[in-house]
């Protein structure tokens, strides 16, 4: 019998990131319902895939975003 490694996100409560674009074009949603993991999805495609990021990687990523480490360069 084949085991599935897929996380069931059907009961997840999603919230929009405070960094999402206010006009609804660039909306990222996250769920806080899974200890040790942070599921992330595109709110425009709620039935689409979600990335599940380990909590230990999520915190440094958010710190980098808040410090503008990923700001656009070169006028793009």
Residue 39 · residue 8 · CB < 8 Å: no
Identify the DSSP state of 57: H
In 3D, which of 4, 11, 9 has the Cα closest to residue 41?
A: 9
Of all residues in the chain, the percent with pLDDT exceeding 90 is: 37
Q: Is the pTM of this model over 0.75?
A: no
Q: Would the pLDDT of 21 be above 50?
A: yes
**pLDDT at position 75, please?**
46
Rounded to whole angstroms, how far apart are CA atoms 50 and 7? 10
Kindly report, residue by residue over 29-56, the tens digit of the pLDDT: 999 999 999 999 998 898 899 999 999 9
Domain ranges of the chain: 14-66
**pLDDT at position 35, please?**
93
Residue that has been written with the tokens 């942070």 in this structure: 38
Rounded to whole angstroms, how far apart are CA atoms 52 and 75? 31
Q: Would the pLDDT of 74 be above 70?
A: no
């Amino acid at each position: 019998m084949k085991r599935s490694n897929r996380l069931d996100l059907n009961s997840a409560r999603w919230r929009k990131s405070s960094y999402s674009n206010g006009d609804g074009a660039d909306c990222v949603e996250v769920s806080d319902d899974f200890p040790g993991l942070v599921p992330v999805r595109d709110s425009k495609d709620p039935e689409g895939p979600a990335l599940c990021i380990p909590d230990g990687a999520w915190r440094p990523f958010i710190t980098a975003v808040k410090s503008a480490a990923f700001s656009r360069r070169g006028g793009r």
